[in-house]
Amino acid sequence: MKLYKVGDSIKGAVVLTNKIERVFVIGLDGAGNFIKDTNTPNIHQLLKKGVLTYSGQASYPTISAECWGSILHGVVPEKHGLNNDLIAAEIYPEYSPYPSFFKVIKDAWPDCKLAAFSEWEPINYGIIEQSTLHQAVSKPDEELVHAAAAYIRENPDLKAMFVQIDTPDAAGHQYGYGTKAYLDSITKTDGFVGVIIEAIKDAGLLDSSLIITTSDHGGGGDHHYSHGSDHPQDMTIFWGCHGPEINPKSQLEEGFKNMNTAAIVLHALGLAIPEQYDAKIPDGLFLE
């Protein structure tokens, strides 16, 4: 049984009071938990009134398709079966046993606006079901975030948006994860996040939105210029959120999985979490 927001006239639905009207998920590809080691004022300013952990865990193997697939679909990679080659070559099936949170939202509100802005284009078609998206954009990061900001200002009635920023991962592969150049790239990425947050504020949406920001994986564990292993430096990520109904005093358990993002998005919008999801709602994250 699906759960819907107050005001929805959907026969047979269970109606819940819900102050969260939309969700933004902002992903920093390859950033791990390195935001703790460099200047990221926009992210930290947002999350100081929310919830933040530096000890979250990525899915394994710590490769982008596997990890974004788990974040968006709420199941471990062994179930969603995605990898970098597959998502580049094939469109994600419309009726997978493991729907993305976008698909669950679209099934609940067929007319709602959902958007994905990903520098790495295969996310938009190889991981997210095509029928769900009102807007799907792929551009270099600096252009991407301004396009996302424009979309927010022009579509304040959107229900959910995903943004993937690739700058940290590109810098890790080029310069080495944890190097000064890599850390500088995360600070630069924080500026991109600031562009999106400013648009949310300008559209008057901050007080009624859940904003989640996280990374898919880290890097530099087994190999200075790469990732994919179960080394703690590859596996450990930051995860944070800000919004109404979030308990700022909650403490996420050690080893919190970024895969839980999918369940948290759906719960925030008042929707039932698919039984097949491995993603869970952390105890105490939402106010009673």
pLDDT tens by residue, 196-250: 999 999 999 999 999 999 999 999 999 999 999 999 999 999 999 999 999 999 9
Whole-number pLDDT of residue 225: 98
Does residue 77 form part of some domain? yes
Is residue 82 domain-resident? yes
Q: Are β-strands 236-242 and 51-57 bridged in parallel, bridged antiparallel, or unpaired?
A: antiparallel
Token digits of residue 159: 């229900």
216 in a structural domain = yes
Residue of 240, 258, 277, 270 lying closest to 100 (CA atoms): 277
**63 within some domain:** yes
Summarize pLDDT for 6-60 with one digit per residue, the tens. 334 333 333 345 699 999 999 999 999 999 999 999 999 999 999 999 999 999 9
Give the CATH number, domain containing residue 144: 3.40.720.10
Residue 277 lies in a domain: no
What gap in Å lies between CA 284 and CA 30, rounded to an integer?
Answer: 28
Closest to 107 in 3D by CA, of 242, 24, 3: 3
DSSP state of 136: E
In what helix (H) or strand (E) does residue 105 lie, and over which residues does it extend?
helix 101-108
CA–CA separation, 73 and 287 (whole Å):
25
pLDDT attached to residue 18: 61
For residue 212, is it within any domain? yes
Strands (E), the chain: 3-5, 14-16, 22-28, 51-57, 113-118, 135-137, 158-165, 209-214, 236-242
Angstrom distance (rounded) from CA 61 to CA 188: 27
Strand partners for 57? 236, 257
Residues in a beta bridge with 53 = 239
Task: Classify residue 102: in a domain, yes or no.
Answer: yes
Share of the chain above pLDDT 70, in %: 94
| Banded pLDDT at 288 (limits 50, 70, 90) | confident
Euclidean distance between the first and the last CA atom of the chain, given in angstroms as a whole number: 21
- What's the predicted TM-score (pTM) here? 0.93
Task: Work out the angle between the directed axes of helices 261-268 and 64-73 (0-180°, nearest 10).
Answer: 30
**Residue 188 maps to a domain:** yes
Q: How far apart are CA 259 and CA 273, in angstroms?
A: 13
Domain assignment of residue 157, given as a range = 19-268
**What's the pLDDT score for residue 4?**
35
Mean pLDDT of the region 156-176: 98
Q: What is the pLDDT of residues 108-137, one digit of tens each?
A: 999 999 999 999 999 999 999 999 999 999
CA distance 210 to 222: 35
| Residue linked to tokens 């008042």 | 270
Q: Which two tokens stand for residue 132?
A: 């769900």
Overall number of domains in the chain: 1
Q: Which residue has the higher pLDDT, 284 or 1?
A: 284
* pLDDT for the residue 170: 98
User: Average pLDDT of 72-96?
Assistant: 97
